[in-house]
Copies of this chain bind each other. A is one copy, B any other.
Amino acid sequence: MGRWEPNARERLATAALQLYSERGYEQTTVAEIARRAGLTERTYFRHYADKREVLFDGSGALQELFVQAVAEAQESAVPIDAMAAGLDAVSAVFVDRRDHARQRQAVIVANAELQERELIKLASLSAALADALRVRGVAEPAASLTAEAGVAVFKIGFERWITATEERTLSQLMRESLDQLKVVTAGG
């Protein structure tokens, strides 16, 4: 698969994001994405199941990384500190991806179907994080609540990071959001 098409997966993802940004998600066809990438429709469907999935290509790897960092946090770490280790790990991945993330987000907020898919991915992330915490011996409902808190910090830290004027790093914003969550839940 892909032997005669170097980097086909990345080229298709880049072409799709360009076209979705230029013409809108709904107005773009898979045939056009393939053409822009210099590939065939057949090749597209060898890599992605549909028009949506090309925008969510990284979410599986992101979830894996997040969950692994939580799972491998120091044995002595309390649940929220294990979650902080996960947030640090995912922040590192996005360092050079701010423009890409902004462009992708603009496409997603313009389309209800894409927003739904994004919410499903976050719900799946939360469930996987709760699993990892239970494996660490965290009881319910603490495991699920910590997982939801982690995803909330991730979501809000990320949203702040991609606002037009924001210059702080994702890592800084994640930490600030987590600290702020601690303040508000403590009654601040």
* A interface residues, Cβ below 8 angstroms from B: 78-81, 112, 115-117, 119-120, 123, 141-142, 144-146, 148-149, 152-153, 155-156, 159-160, 176-177, 180-188
Contacts and interface: CB of A to CB of B under 8 A. Distances in A.
A160 B148 contact: no
- Copies of this chain, count: 2
Contacts of A152: 145, 148-149, 152
A86 to B, nearest CB: 14
A145 B187 contact: no
B155 A148 contact: yes
A80 B187 contact: yes
B141 A148 contact: no
A181 B83 CA distance: 14
Given A119-B123, A141-B177, A78 B156 contact: no
